[in-house]
Amino acid sequence: MKEANSRLSALVDGLTDWGIEQFVYVPSSHAAPVIRKLEANGVKSVMANREEEAVGIAGGLALTGVKVAMVMQDNGFGNALTALATFAQSYHTGFPIFANTRGGLGEYNAMIHSISESSPELLKKLGIRVENLGISDSVEVWRSSTEAVSKLAVIQRRPIVTLFESLHPGMETIK
């Protein structure tokens, strides 16, 4: 089981600071440390089979007033775009989405960059705000930005995506 490094732990801490009550996720090896740690902290979770399904469930929860976040990989945004635009965005459901990036340094998959590198532009084209957390950002920034973006999504009644750099094989010693 993958454990969260200090930055991924800070992301979980930021969600805790916000008061997260529930999260919806799509399985991901790179986001697994975040998912495992949230579950270990007792936050209720729902595992969805596809990203658009996750958007529907998370948006439904948000409409009930639950503080809900979504956790996924950026290569899944292709699946999620219509649901994000026609439901989450259009119905003013406010919830944060945290997606680990793929296709960067250390990537082992030959084609995943073909969707991952385009994801930020695709999201921006839909009018979805995109924030970034990188490995050069401090632990404190990861924590405070996570809390702030979660609050902002609820206040602005729209989904806001945070793309966070995960650690690829060979880079896992970065603290």
Partner 1 sequence: MKRIDALKVLDEVFGSDPLVITCGATAREMASLSRKKTHLPLLDSMGLTTPVGLGIALGHSGRVGVIDGDGSLLMGFSILPTLKAYAPKNLIVVVLDNGQHASADGMFSQANVVDIAGAAKGLGLWVAECDSAEAMKSHIESRNNADAVSLIFVKIETGNTPNIPFYLADPAKLGADFKEALAG
Binding site for partner 1 (CB under 8 A): 22, 24, 46-50, 52-66, 68, 82-83, 86-87, 90-93, 157
Q: For partner 1, give the closer residue by CB, 54 or 163.
A: 54
Residue 114: what are its φ and ψ, rounded to 5°? -65, -25
Smallest distance, Å, CB 101 to partner 1?
24
Smallest distance, Å, CB 6 to partner 1?
32
Residues with Cβ within 8 Å of residue 107, at least 6 apart in sequence: 113, 168
Residue 153 neighbours by CB distance under 10 Å: 26
Smallest distance, Å, CB 156 to partner 1?
12
Q: For partner 1, give the closer residue by CB, 84 or 163.
A: 84
Q: In three state form, how does the secondary structure of 21-73 look?
A: CEEEECCCCCCHHHHHHHHHCCCEEEECCCHHHHHHHHHHHHHCCCCEEEEEE
Q: For partner 1, give the closer residue by CB, 63 or 141.
A: 63
Smallest distance, Å, CB 64 to partner 1?
3
Q: For partner 1, give the closer residue by CB, 79 or 101.
A: 79
